[in-house]
Amino acid sequence: MDKLLLRKNAIARRKSLDPAVTQKMSLEIVNLVKDFISQRKFDQVFLYSPMVGEVDLTDLLSTGLSRFAFPKVNGSDMDFFGVKATSELFKQSFGILEPRGLGGLAIPTAKTLILVPSLLLDRQGNRVGLGKGYYDRYLNKVKTPLTLGVAFDEFVVESLPLEPWDIPLGGYVTERKLEILNQIHK
């Protein structure tokens, strides 16, 4: 099946999920990630603002386990900016919350974890996003040690079709498990 059809089907499936169920599963993922951050002692964790049906990780902000950053889109690129509370986020033109930039530009280091929103994931660390390429472009330019795709377990498949520009992730997290596949982002 080609990527466009996979994406279209996954978007429809994700939109049909019961919000109460996605909230419960999101909290399960937050707990797995919280334990992982505590064990690995990351200096920074890059989050994202969830779209409808996406895993919501914003509860991590209140843990105080790390410094957190959120993406801000600028044309076809994006950068991450430090955020201490959801009140530092504003709704941009597509309805997605973005940082105001008050927390300064966040530069990934060896102790940074980037949590990548994913429409679909496979067991090799490949992902399908919404098709705009923001994360692939960002990950290609920053070379960070660990990236984890984030999705609900039903959106993890055996394998996905790949494009030359796709950047494989270091692992993934669902409500059932956190799986490390590759420690270093290439």
The reported pLDDT for the residue numbered 54 is: 93
- Assess if residue 167 is contained within a domain: yes
Whole-angstrom CA distances from 108 to 16, 18, 130 are 35, 35, 23
Position 185 pLDDT exceeds 50: no
Sheet strands side by side (includes 77-83)? 77-83, 67-74, 44-46, 112-117, 146-150, 171-173, 178-180
Which residues lie across from 122 on neighbouring strands? 157
pLDDT tens digits for 128-159?
Answer: 998 888 998 999 888 777 999 999 999 999 99
Instruction: Count CB-CB contacts under 10 A for residue 109.
Output: 12
Residue-wise pLDDT for 15-36, tens only, equals: 999 999 999 999 999 999 999 9
Q: Which two tokens stand for residue 31?
A: 């707990």
CATH assignment at residue 30: 3.40.50.10420
Give SS3 for 37. Answer: helix
Digit-coded pLDDT (tens) for 64-109: 888 999 999 988 899 999 999 888 999 886 778 999 888 899 999 9
Give the predicted TM-score (pTM) of the model.
0.93
Asked whether residue 186 carries a pLDDT value surpassing 60, the answer given is: no
- On whether residue 126 sits in a domain, the answer given is yes
Boundaries of domain holding 34: 3-180
- Number of domains comprising the chain: 1
